[in-house]
Structure 1
Amino acid sequence: MTTTKQIGPESPGTLPSLPMTQDSSAHKVSRWQRTTGALRRAATAPFAGLEALRQTGRSYRHFLLPALNGAIGDQLALRGDQRAIRLSFRRHDADVPAIDLDLTDGPRPTVVFVHGLMGDEHIWQTGPAGLLRYGPRLAADLPHVRCLYVRYNTGRHISENGRALHQLLTQLLQAWPDAVTDLTLVGHSMGGLVIRSAGYYASEELHQAREAEAGSAAAAPWLAYLRQVFLLGVPNEGSFLEQNSFLTALALRRFDLRLARLLADTIDRRSSGIRDLRHARLVDEDWQNPHADDLVPPRTKVPPLPGVQYHVLAASLLKNAESALAQYFGDGLVGGHSATGSVFRRAEQVHVRIFPRQHHGTLLADADVYEYIRERLAANGGN
């Protein structure tokens, strides 16, 4: 005979039927919440991505805009695009005319920093993890030195930026003649070429004024204040990367293939500023010359300015900076031979220093490079 035992709540080893129903319902609700949550995140993901891109763009806008100008800045300027950078002094991420710099803190040695291709004034101010670079460090270590920063459109011809820098420095000294005791220019990469070009146009203006015997004292006033020029990783004899780009496009055009011509056309769309780097063209006549695209084009010699101390600072990826490899590849972007520049090699006022096991970028944030600059400024009355 089979008996059926009534199982009650008090029976050991059993579970009430009601809690089982509640756990099952809770499990179903939890699974539904997870599913709807996943669907909601999937639906809003594109908007979250766009917001992230917007925030990234805002955070890195001082990288994106200079890069755009370096690539096609000449085209932007030609059509009056508002994204085209105009050469100007910079403070707090804004252009500042020379007259509005408010240099009322007394007469001081003044250092003007000029960035390189696709850069801006921030390369002199901050680095990774907020690391202070040369500008703020000099302001802290040499409190009597004034630091100014220039931003320019690196896609334009080097000579166009050189003439504009000459005009800007002229405006600086005309507006604040008693605020500057002496002037130092510091340029990185293309910025050094722009500085050399500015010196060329200033000396030409001064020479013409003296020949005309008309107001030569008012011509290129900043030259009388210029004491030192620091050239950091500057392709004074041209960039091997741009030379290779030119040769590649030239070779592709020899093939009667549509793809080859398309590739050559793409390479040839690089900006005027980048093209000028092939042989470091510093004056208008060099790129305006009908033979400018020859394998060995004519090039105007631009010697050091008389009475000015030049400091040519180059980097070498290799320990032995004198080796053939180091002379060609140099800091990875500028060859060693190009950085030291043949035009500087016999000039007594030129001091050359090579920093081994460094690359093009570390010249902007190296303790030894900074100490070299600081010591020369201090010895020149910046302490």
Structure 2
Amino acid sequence: MQRPDTQRSMRPDPRSVRDLRGGVQLAFDAVRRSLDRIERVHERLADVSPPVRGLQPRPPTQGWASVVYRGLRGSADLLGGGADLALASVQAWAQDPDRGPLPKERARSRDAAIAALNAVLGDHLHRTGNPLAIHTSWRAGTPKLGRLLVLAHDLGLDPRAWSQDGAGFGDELATAIGATPLSLRYNAGRRVAAVAREVSTSLERQVAGWPVKVQGLDLVGHGLGGLVLRSALQQAQRGGLAWPALVRHVVFLGTPHAGARNAQWRDLVDAAGSGTHASLLLSRAANRRSEGMEDFTGGHWMEHEQGVPLAVLPRPWPAGARAYAIAGSLQERGDDGVVTVASALGRDLPPGQDLELGEAQRWIAAGVGHLELVRNGAVLQQVRHWLSV
């Protein structure tokens, strides 16, 4: 007879089973897409003239061909549903609280891989309800103070980019200015405006439910996170929410206000520290561009209605708030490897989108790459100086 502790050690982590369910769902999604491509090729062959060796295949919507395609799709749906049901049963069994507590922390490599996967496939994961889709959430530090430092990570990263074992850019900055770090986690593959709508309303709840009275908010966004915060602020002001009135500073780190270069995404993932785990997950999706990646390269952040951007507010920042922008610059390239200096500093933007920054509110970090902006001591000191004013 097995001992209880042995039984517990044999129990799989239900979160890993949930991840596996998401991977299986993605695999069957790929099977369905392959069937769609084959059917489209078949349809084009049916229109070829003259026919090959006198044989003219019938369209895929007629005769036995339609029966075969329907049968293949039905089989894929049946097998996919059966596999998900089986794994869901294992997940339910594994998450039984009587079988012992779960580990509190997940492996950093797993979180990095999921963040990278959502950057490339996040829009698809969200639309299909895949368990691997990241949902908007917040991670609050301690102690709970009346000043909040709101941190939004970049494309393909997660909140751990700001904090490493109790240290790091976010924690050091929060300690220096006497604030509690409040880190955002979001699906970077979705449209910026859609994510920002959730951020805007959820931040309102965070402020309203904070254990002490919130006296000020400082917003710091890295890369895509800056576009998310800018859009969230715009939507909150437009919707009459309370938290914009608490904003004192907004800082952008390498944010592509005018768009970014089309960098090799795989290289950026490896540089971010995701390593081989993320590379394996992205090997089949390397050429895909999610909606979030399109917004990143295009500098899109405004709300749209029927494809038309909604007008921005007359003033970009609430009364009493000041904005700042930092750009990385590698040698004489004029960019940080991803975002140009002009784009990061918000220069030459279209009418109505200007950041209204003076030269004292712009700063160039010489020799600092895009991902290093949240790891560099000089950048930290510059942001600390601005937030202390």
Shorter-chain TM-score tier: 0.5 to 0.7
Cα shift readout 1:226-249 (whole Å, capped 9, x = no counterpart): 01001000000011217x99xxxx
Within-5 A mapping of 1:229-378: 229-241=250-262, 269-285=288-304, 288-289=306-307, 304-307=316-319, 308-318=321-331, 325-326=333-334, 330-342=335-347, 343=349, 344=354, 346-348=356-358, 351-378=361-388
Q: Aligned residue for 2:47?
A: none
Residues 224 and 91 of structure 1, relative CA distance in 2, 3 Å threshold:
closer
Q: Is the 8 A contact 2:140 2:180 kept in 1?
A: no
Kept after mapping to 1: 8 A contact 2:227/2:299:
yes
1:137 — aligned with what?
172
* 2:244 aligned to which of 210, 223, 232: 223
Q: How many residues align?
A: 260
Matches of 2:328 and 2:336, distance apart in 1: 5
CA deviations on 1:90-116 (whole Å, 9 max, x unpaired) are 259xxxxxxxxxx884x5211011001
Sort the Cα spacing of 1:269 and 1:141 in 2 relative to 1 into closer, same or farther, 3 A: closer
Which has the higher mean CA deviation after the structures are superposed, 276-285 or 343-352? 343-352
Deviation string for 1:190-231 (max 9, x for gaps)? 00000010011112112xxxxxxxxxxxxx110110010010
Kept in 1: contact 2:316–2:355 (CA 8 A):
no
Q: Percent identity?
A: 29
Mapped contact 1:282–1:300 kept (Cα < 8 A): no
Offset at residue 301 of structure 1 (A): 5.2
Between the aligned partners of 1:299 and 1:338, the Cα distance in structure 2 is: 21
The amino acid across from 2:329 in the alignment is S
* Contact persistence 1:238–1:279 (CA under 8 A): yes
SS in structure 2 at match of 1:277: helix
User: Alignment partner of 2:239: what SS?
Assistant: helix
Residues 219 and 229 of structure 2 are in contact (CA less than 8 Å); yes or no, is this contact kept in structure 1?
A: yes
Q: State the 1:289 CA deviation.
A: 1.9
Asked whether 1:116 is paired with 2:121, we answer no
Q: What's the counterpart of residue 41 of structure 1?
A: none
- Is contact 2:215-2:246 (8 Å) kept? yes
Shift of 1:166: 0.6
Which amino acid is 1:331 matched to? Answer: D
Residue of structure 2 equivalent to 1:165: 199
Measured in 2, the distance between the counterparts of 1:140 and 1:182 equals 15
Deviation at 1:69, TM superposition (A): 0.6
Q: TM-score, normalised by structure 2?
A: 0.60
Distance, in Å, in 2 between the alignment partners of 1:73 and 1:84 is: 6
Shift, 1:300, TM fit = 5.7
1:238 corresponds to which letter in structure 2?
G
Point out the structure with max Rg over C-alpha.
1
- The answer (yes or no) to whether the contact 1:316–1:358 under 8 Å persists in 2 is yes
Label 1:141 to 1:340 Cα distance change in 2 as closer, same or farther (>3 A).
closer
User: Could you say if the C-alpha distance between residues 203 and 374 of structure 1 is closer, same or farther in structure 2, counting changes exceeding 3 Å?
Assistant: same
Indicate conservation of the 8 Å contact 1:114/1:192, yes or no.
Answer: yes
Work out whether residues 148 and 216 of structure 2, in 8 Å CA contact, stay in contact via their aligned partners in 1: yes
Q: CA deviation at 1:121?
A: 0.3
| Inter-partner Cα distance in structure 2 for 1:183 and 1:374 | 14
Within the alignment, does 1:188 sit opposite 2:246 as a pair? no
Q: Which amino acid aligns with 2:307?
A: N
Distance 1:188 1:278 in 2: 14
Secondary structure at the counterpart of residue 60 of structure 1: helix
Residue identity matched to 2:385: E
Q: Which runs of 5+ in 2 are unaligned?
A: 1-19, 21-105, 266-284
CA contact (8 A) 2:162 2:169 kept: yes
Q: Deviation of residue 149 (structure 1)?
A: 0.8
| Structure-1 separation of matches of 2:109 and 2:118 | 15
Q: Which residue matches 2:138?
A: 89
Q: RMSD of the alignment, in Å?
A: 3.1
Contact 1:281 1:299 survives alignment (8 Å)? no
SS at match of 2:293: helix
Q: How many Å separate the matches in 1 of 2:198 and 2:291?
A: 16
Check whether the contact 1:312–1:350 (CA below 8 A) recurs between aligned residues.
no
Match of 1:79 among 118, 121, 128: 128
Superposition TM-score, scaled by structure 1 size: 0.61
